[in-house]
């Protein structure tokens, strides 16, 4: 993998720090989205918190930030943590509900995946966790369009947006599922990310196309407010 010569990666369990010329990125990977993500792995000082999850409207995101987190309970502690510290929260994702439901259906019909999940429920074993992550990727590859939008295209676009926003060497923190390899995309140069995206077919049936080139920002001042939506021209040209 070609990377910027000044890129350095450090891992601490499920936390990966990527040090680059333009920014420091901390990636916190969580296996189970139904488990609440604790705040002990988050730095006290950060310049932006990036959360995965595609949403159809700004109103949906405001509901999530306001406490309506029944769909992603892992955010129940980290959103108040960000509010208390007045850390901007960004949503760079564009995956739509159809993609998520398609993925759930494929995994539900995969007997090895369901067997591994039963083992995980009993043991919480890291070895089983890794096997599940590998099985998720394997199963998704049966639908190339879904796999592309769920993994490489999604990760490259999110990483591109974070670097595009980087000014005055910020410290950005991202929460994302551990089956992803976002750190690999973050380590690439902007030119490399864009080249890889140009080589992919983007499948509109699995994304909210209006959000693909965008990063939505929210700030807290007594309540969460939508303060900015940045549209990135080079990503918009890919649609």
pLDDT in tens, 117-129: 999 989 988 899 8
Rounded CA separation 40/29 (Å):
13
Residue 2 has a pLDDT of 40
Nearest to 95 by CA among 163, 147, 172: 147
Question: pTM for the full model?
Answer: 0.91
Residue 181 has a pLDDT of 82
Residue 14 has a pLDDT of 87
User: Among the residues of the chain, which ranges form H helices?
Assistant: 58-65, 78-84, 97-108, 111-123, 126-140, 144-150, 152-165, 182-187, 190-198, 233-236
Residue 1 has a pLDDT of 38
Q: How confident is the model at residue 195 (pLDDT cuts 50, 70, 90)?
A: very high
């Amino acid at each position: 993998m070609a990377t910027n010569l000044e890129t350095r990666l450090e891992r601490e369990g499920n936390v990966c720090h990527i040090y680059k010329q333009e920014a420091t990125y901390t990636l916190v990977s969580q296996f189970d989205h139904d488990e609440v993500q604790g705040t002990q792995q988050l730095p006290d000082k950060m310049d932006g918190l990036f959360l995965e999850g595609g949403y159809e409207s700004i109103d949906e995101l405001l509901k999530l930030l306001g406490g309506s987190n029944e769909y992603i309970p892992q955010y129940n502690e980290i959103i108040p943590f960000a509010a208390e510290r007045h850390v901007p929260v960004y949503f760079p994702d564009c995956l739509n509900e159809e993609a998520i439901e398609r993925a759930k259906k494929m995994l539900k019909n995969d007997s090895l995946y369901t067997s591994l999940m039963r083992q995980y429920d009993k043991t919480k074993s890291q070895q089983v966790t890794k096997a599940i992550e590998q099985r998720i990727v394997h199963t998704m590859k049966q639908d190339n369009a879904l796999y592309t939008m769920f993994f490489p295209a999604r990760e490259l676009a999110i990483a591109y947006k974070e670097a595009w926003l980087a000014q005055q060497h910020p410290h950005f923190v991202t929460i994302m599922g551990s089956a992803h390899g976002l750190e690999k995309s973050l380590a690439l140069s902007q030119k490399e990310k864009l080249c890889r995206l140009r080589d992919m077919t983007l499948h509109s049936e699995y994304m909210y196309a209006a959000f693909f080139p965008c990063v939505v920002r929210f700030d807290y001042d007594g309540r969460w407010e939508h303060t900015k939506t940045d549209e990135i021209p080079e990503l918009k040209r890919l649609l």
